[in-house]
Chain A
Amino acid sequence: MKKMFASLLALSMVLVGCGGDGGDSASSSKPEIVMLTDKGTIDDKSFNQGTYEGVKAYAEKNGIDCTYIKPVDATTDEYNNSIDQAVKSGAKVVVCPGYLFEESIYIKQTEYPDVKFILIDGNPHDASYEDYKTEKNTIGITFQEEQSGYLAGYAAVKDGNTSLGFMGGQAVPAVMNFGYGYVQGANDAAKELGITVKMKYHYTGGFSATPEIQTKASSWYKDGVTIVFGCGGSVGNSVMAAAEASNPAGKVIGVDVDQSSESDTVVTSAYKRLGDAVQKALESIYSGDFDKTDDTSIQFRGGQNIVLGAKDGDVGLPLETSKFDKFTEADYNAIYDKIVDGSVTIKNNKDAESPNDLNCSNVDLTIEN
């Protein structure tokens, strides 16, 4: 009796859980596309959600079943288990957003050669970072976040801000890239204007909203910082809270997706088009292009680690919701074109140990720990 009750309870939880994600795609038949979430949740308004929206959009358009799994814990072992679970339940494509999956996919891509793996924000490698290997059934997609951050920094300075802040979450590659780009963008804009700008730079070490972050951001705004790039999940929400309470109100730059709806203080967002990239990868898989691994004219093909950036239109600022005073669409297009044609090169976290090594003479950088 007890056992029956327990299993009934478990079943009802599963069913309600599926209803809760807003899609009717789960549960009924076997889902072919399965996404795993990394540390965040499926509706984090950022990384995981952005990816899943892409998966869902493609699946709905083509009548394919999709679902997601939230691994019990953010460890390679648990990720492996979740991949096993997905494949056993019939998944043909496994989508994994986050560099945390690099090791799991390195292991599982050989174990399941018939399953396709899409890894976002990372390239598969072994535990010791010695062997990098992307099999024919796998594609690794990374973004040039530094370009997005660059545009944000450039726009902020061109718009009249002379004292800036960068509030990053944990110092993971994507966050660092955003930050490095931000510093370099501010530097180039300051050079063009013939001025020097000040910037405070800090990693909070986490991705949640805390009074510590609110206090730090408040102290920045009080010291004359006018705009802060809140870069890392809920960290941005504490920065927004501080910006709203400051007198005069501060400005905030959002991250990953267009965050203008979260607070009036958000003037623009440095986005990367996660959803688009996932959709393109899925299209390539279902059209069969993915398997033509030797055809270099196909960008999204198996065995590749591809880098998406301004040249594909996958990073940038959402101008339609941005609130700039002086920075115009023409200015934006001009600098965007320069990034695309390569006349502006931007260093990322592989090129420099710390933002101090970026040689930005027009930015007076203060790194706070």
Chain B
Amino acid sequence: MSDILFLFQQTMFFFIPLLIVALGGLFSERSGIINIALEGMMIIGAFAGIFFIHFFQQSMDPQICLLVALLIAGLSGTLFALFHAIASINMKADQTISGTALNMFAPAFCIFVARLVQQTQQVEFSNTFRITKVPVLGDIPFIGEFLFQNTYITNFLGILILVLSWLILYKTRFGLRLRSCGELPQAADSAGINVYKIRYAGTLISGFLAGMGGLIFIVPTSTNFNADVAGYGFLALAVLIFGQWKPWHIAGAAFFFGFMKTIASAGLPFLASLSIPNYFYKITPYVATLIVLAFTSKNSAAPRAEGEPFDKGKR
């Protein structure tokens, strides 16, 4: 029992950031803008957030500090995404190139600023954000132990973002417009929708979520931030594709990736006797992504106008 509890809680450290960042990618790609700059946005978000924590955590309540830091991470991610938006929407640049440029720029920028401010590139923080037990809810048998003990506020935030993303994309007028801009922007345009505005919104939301995801990724993982999120932005892209650009599928994919990563590192207690090599668990998510891609390539759910700069005159 305690083994399952442990695996579940460790899975959250992979699941929640992957989920949030992949949902970020979802907003951008459903509006028609490829976003491979998720990694860079995570780095910028984590950097700004950790910097805030570094300076203010002594003088604030930890949970409030984390929430403010998340907001700052999100906003700096948004600001960073603005470059991507300007390049790919206004300038009609190749979106992969612009994303790659941002990915290269982000770590260099973080190192440069960190050195300028404090002489070293690692930004230190101490993790005081873990909630040992939520009052009342933590006492519920079973559920309390799983969901409301040894947890982070970000776990609930992640689920909230998932529900909100689904509501926004499928239950609001804005969501419909966003999706239409990713499928056939010319049609959306003829219906009087401002494609540029919608695409801006998609890209900026994407930056906000990716920035937050970066901070959520770093907090339980290390004791300092070293301009690195270990390639999880790219992993989130794989989650997005594996989840076929649909929020609930993405949640499933993120959980699958996270769980596989967890058992590859921690091992499965009841499967230990089978002595399956760790590598098996490590490659499973990637092999699964390849299989899904191979089988869905004919009727892939990828937004049709993804990656194409909007051209009013094209039909």
Residues of A at the B interface (CB closer than 8 Å) are 16, 20-22, 41, 43, 45, 208-216, 218-219, 222, 234, 237-238, 240-241, 244-245, 247, 262-263, 368-369
Contacts and interface: CB of A to CB of B under 8 A. Distances in A.
Contact of A43 (B122, B126, B261, B264): B122
Contacts of B115: 20-21, 43
Given A20-B116, A209-B228, A219 B221 contact: no
A16 B115 CA distance: 10
A29 to B, nearest CB: 23
Contacts of A244: 126-127, 223
B10 interface: yes
B222 A218 contact: no
A245 B226 contact: no
Contacts of B278: 368-369
A237 B121 contact: no
Nearest to B9: A218
Nearest to A263: B223
B300 interface: no
B119 interface: yes
Interface string B92-122: 0000000000000000000110011001111
Contacts of B226: 208-209, 234, 237
Contact of A209 (B13, B116, B222): B222
Closest 6 CB pairs of A and B: A219-B266, A209-B222, A215-B265, A216-B265, A20-B115, A237-B222
A307 B278 CA distance: 37
B6 interface: yes
Nearest to A261: B124
Contact of B220 (A20, A216, A245, A369): A245
B261 A211 contact: yes
A240 B222 CA distance: 7
Contact of B221 (A214, A222, A247, A368): A214
Contacts of A368: 267, 278
Nearest to A369: B278
B116 A211 contact: no
A241 B223 contact: yes
Contacts of B277: 369
Name the residue in A16, A212, A213, A247 with the highest tally of chain B Cβ atoms < 10 Å from its Cβ.
Answer: A212
B120 A214 contact: no
17 contacts: A16-B116, A21-B115, A21-B119, A41-B121, A43-B115, A209-B224, A211-B14, A212-B261, A213-B265, A214-B13, A219-B6, A234-B226, A237-B224, A241-B221, A245-B130, A262-B124, A368-B267
Nearest to B225: A209
B230 A215 contact: no
Contact of B122 (A21, A22, A45): A45
B3 to A, nearest CB: 8
B262 interface: yes
Contacts of B112: 20
A1 B121 CA distance: 34
A208 B223 contact: no
A352 to B, nearest CB: 23
Contacts of A237: 222-224, 226
A342 B12 CA distance: 50
B224 A215 contact: no
B290 to A, nearest CB: 21
Given A43-B115, A241-B127, A245-B127, A214 B220 contact: yes
A240 B261 contact: no
Contact of B230 (A43, A45, A210, A247): A210
Name the residue in B122, B127, B222 with the highest tally of chain A Cβ atoms < 10 Å from its Cβ.
Answer: B222
B217 interface: yes
Given A218-B266, A244-B126, 17 more contacts: A20-B115, A43-B121, A208-B230, A209-B222, A209-B224, A209-B226, A211-B220, A215-B14, A215-B261, A215-B265, A218-B10, A219-B265, A219-B266, A237-B222, A238-B222, A245-B150, A368-B267
Interface in B221-263: 221-224, 226, 228, 230, 261-262
Contacts of B261: 211-212, 215
B276 to A, nearest CB: 12
A43 B120 contact: yes
A21 B122 CA distance: 14
Contacts of B14: 211, 215
A238 B121 contact: no
B37 to A, nearest CB: 20
Contacts of A240: 222-223
B228 A208 contact: yes
A369 B130 CA distance: 30
A263 B126 CA distance: 8
